[in-house]
A and B are shown apart, each in its own frame.
Chain A
Amino acid sequence: MTESLTTENVTVTFDGLTALSKVDLSVPKRSVTGLIGPNGAGKTTLVNVLTGFQAPTAGRVTMDGADLGAKPAHKIRHLGIARTFQSGRLFSDLSVVDNLEVTGVGLGLSRRKASAKAVEMLDWMGISSLAERTAGGLPYTDERRVAIGRALMLEPKYLLLDEPAAGMSAEEADDLSRLIARIVSEIGCGVLLIEHNIGMVLKTCDDIHVLDSGKIIEVGPPAVIKASEKVRHAYMGTQVETEGEVL
């Protein structure tokens, strides 16, 4: 049995409007899977399905072979699926280290152990200096990094990153790329990277899924996605005239 977080034939409709249509997506452990697609393609809905936030109208979600079904939000995290949001959504009144500790105590650790883990995690991410800062006052990129650290507490099996590089400079995006590589190699997570920064996705991911209008239109390693006519079409709207590489 392969270890992965998988959707099988997932369809989601809202009042007759189809947001996702028969989507098969697999996030294997110890690898980075990319999810790209134009705005409104259904990426966020798909993440919501993967985290139990949105029940699929049809199809199912499995983790390491077991059916996830509909579960309350905290159960999903207890099972080992963590996610981050486009905006950091830190607890702005708490300190950075307390933000990480929330995950620790939420998952059942004592305060002392949660605190030790949080300090360890900040150190692993190289942001120990932020520990006592109030999360509300952090600059944008630090906020993202803290949010990732918070999600990584107690080593989840799967990590879903929702546009972590939005608004980052090329350099910062490179740092993030390296961090994601470390998350995979050192923690062993299966990472799903949802990103608009196509360059970064091509550089970071082992496999990429392209979603358009609720359907997966292409799957494959970066080279395949780069060459794909369908992907180019989805991104550019019209075809033919586009010369050279769009992506």
Chain B
Amino acid sequence: MTEIIQIIIDALSLGSLYALGALGIALIFGVMRLVNFAHGDTIAFCVFALLWPSIDAAAVVFAGHLPTVLLIPLILLIGAGLSVLSEIIVFRRFRKANPATMMIASFALGFVIRYFLLMLYSSRPKSINLWESLGESIGFLGARVPLLQIVTVAITLGILGLLTLFLKRSRYGLEMRAAAENFTMARMLGVRANRVIMLAFALSGMLAATTGLILVTQTGTVDIQMGASVMLIAFIATVIGGLGSLTGAVTAGYLIGAASVLMQVVLPLDARPFRDAFVYGAVIVTLIWRPNGLFVARSAKQRV
């Protein structure tokens, strides 16, 4: 029984990380049909902001020393700022370009961010301990689980709740939902395109910052590659979920997390190192079964 609870918590916390990543991609895709491959590097950028630029092997902590009440808003702000800047400097110029061109631009932007970090911090991974107390295990329904996992799940659910509330109840949320379904029509009704798009980027940047903070607390290392693996799974989650559907992205994020954890348990010992191959195999099967994803947004089917 305790083992099952352990597995469920593992699946939920891994899924939460993927769901947050997927949401960051899906939000922007919704309003401008852009798959933002720079999202992973935005995650890394937010994490590096915890350190002073230096190419020494030892990390020189900067924002990481701030009290939590300042640290979290600061990193969120950095994420939002970088994301909004990339829209203003790069993506705005591609607004009318076709989606493939925009995607390539996002790859390029990702490389620029990554090599910028490489220049300032070198490619060596550095270690940093954030919120060490979260590493402790606590008793949870009879099982021993790391506090960080519980916190990760709680934070993610909190964010999902707030985001839902924002999208459903606020005027900007309504504008975003309308724009995600039919941008041209929304504009003809008076919705300002730039404002909606910048808002989507700001939210996506804050999600990147949250993802980064959770990642770095889990692993204790800062690495310029760290966003890439989450980004890949997050992207896959948005595709499986059905591009354009936020609910789909979140659900698929949790499904992939659950599949990974489950395979870790059920696969024979010899096959476990190849777990990811099985996970991606399941992804392929899902896409053969539902080529448009699990949740097809109505807006994805008909566009003006």
Contact = CB atoms under 8 A, between A and B. Distances in A.
Interface string B187-225: 111111100000000000000000000000000000000
Contact of A101 (B172, B174, B182, B298): B174
Contacts of A94: 174, 177-178, 181
A61 B262 CA distance: 64
A74 B178 contact: no
A130 interface: no
A107 interface: yes
A102 B174 contact: yes
A89 B182 contact: yes
A106 B177 CA distance: 12
A93 B298 contact: yes
Nearest to B189: A103
Contacts of B174: 94, 98, 101-102, 105, 111, 114
Contact of A72 (B187, B297, B299): B187
Contact of B187 (A74, A109, A111): A74
A109 B191 CA distance: 11
B286 interface: no
Main secondary structure, interface of B, reads helix
B175 interface: yes
A91 B181 contact: yes
A83 B304 CA distance: 15
Which of B170, B174, B181 counts the most A-chain CB atoms under 10 A from its CB? B174
Interface in A146-190: 150-151, 153
A78 interface: yes
Contacts of B185: 85, 89, 91
Contacts of A99: 178
B184 interface: yes
B170 A93 contact: no
Given A91-B177, A109-B171, A136 B187 contact: no
A83 B188 contact: yes
A106 B189 CA distance: 6
Contact of B181 (A51, A77, A78, A93): A93
B171 A74 contact: no
Given A91-B182, A94-B178, A98-B174, A73 B169 contact: no
A74 B191 contact: yes
Which of B171, B177, B187, B188 counts the most A-chain CB atoms under 10 A from its CB? B188
A179 to B, nearest CB: 19
Contacts of A39: none
B192 A92 contact: no
A91 B178 contact: yes
B186 interface: yes
B95 to A, nearest CB: 11
A106 B172 CA distance: 9
A151 B188 CA distance: 9
Contact of A102 (B169, B178, B184, B299): B178
Nearest to A53: B188
Given A51-B188, A74-B192, A89-B304, A111 B170 contact: yes
A68 B304 CA distance: 24
A65 B99 CA distance: 40
Contacts of A103: 189-190
B171 A110 contact: yes
A102 B189 contact: yes
Given A93-B297, A93-B299, A98-B174, A106 B190 contact: yes
Interface in B156-182: 169-172, 174-175, 177-178, 181-182
A102 B175 contact: yes
Nearest to A78: B190
Given A93-B177, A102-B174, A111-B171, A72 B193 contact: yes
A114 B171 contact: yes
B184 to A, nearest CB: 7
A163 B189 CA distance: 18
Interface in A128-153: 136, 150-151, 153
Interface in A61-119: 72-74, 76-78, 82-83, 85, 89, 91-94, 98-99, 101-103, 105-111, 114
7 contacts: A77-B187, A91-B178, A92-B181, A93-B299, A102-B174, A111-B169, A114-B174
The list of the 4 closest CB pairs from A to B, nearest first, reads A106-B190, A105-B171, A106-B191, A73-B187
Interface of B: 169-172, 174-175, 177-178, 181-182, 184-193, 297-299, 304
